[in-house]
Amino acid sequence: MKTIRTAKDFPDKEHLAIIVLSTRNVYHEGDQRSKDFPGHGYPAYTESIENFEYYGYENTVEGKVEWNKHLTMLYKEKPTRTDVIAFTAGPKMSVNFNVNVS
């Protein structure tokens, strides 16, 4: 298993993948002015932060076994979860272009 954190980590070849989605809420206190005089200053608010973890596995027999083990572990924790996406990812694409000036 390889945890993908940056574009450089992304496998070049076709591979098996798991994405685990998550959301966390962060509460920000308002400033004193907004507490003393509602409608003024900076009010309190809650910020939702969306995140995901991407796991890549080689598209081999061993990689598929490891991929299945990880999926089994994720669903044992919470059988009705809807925050997991498992799929076969294609190879990394590259785009080449030429500019001709005449």
Give yes or no for residue 86 having a pLDDT over 90. yes
Q: Is residue 10 part of a domain?
A: yes
* 60: its two tokens: 């081999």
Question: Which residues, listed in sequence order, are joined to residue 47 by a DSSP beta bridge?
Answer: 26
CA separation for the pair 94, 101 (Å, rounded):
23
* 17: its two tokens: 């993948």
User: Residue 56's pLDDT is what?
Assistant: 92
Nearest to 64 by CA among 7, 9, 18, 21: 18
Residue 59 belongs to what domain range? 2-22+50-89
Report the number of distinct structural domains present in the chain.
1
Q: Is residue 42 part of a domain?
A: no
Q: Which tens digits make up the pLDDT trace of 17-35?
A: 999 999 999 999 989 888 8
Q: Is residue 78 part of a domain?
A: yes
Q: Is residue 63 part of a domain?
A: yes
User: Residue 84's pLDDT is what?
Assistant: 96
CA separation for the pair 31, 44 (Å, rounded):
7
Q: Is residue 29 part of a domain?
A: no
Q: Is residue 72 part of a domain?
A: yes
Nearest to 54 by CA among 22, 95, 91, 92: 22
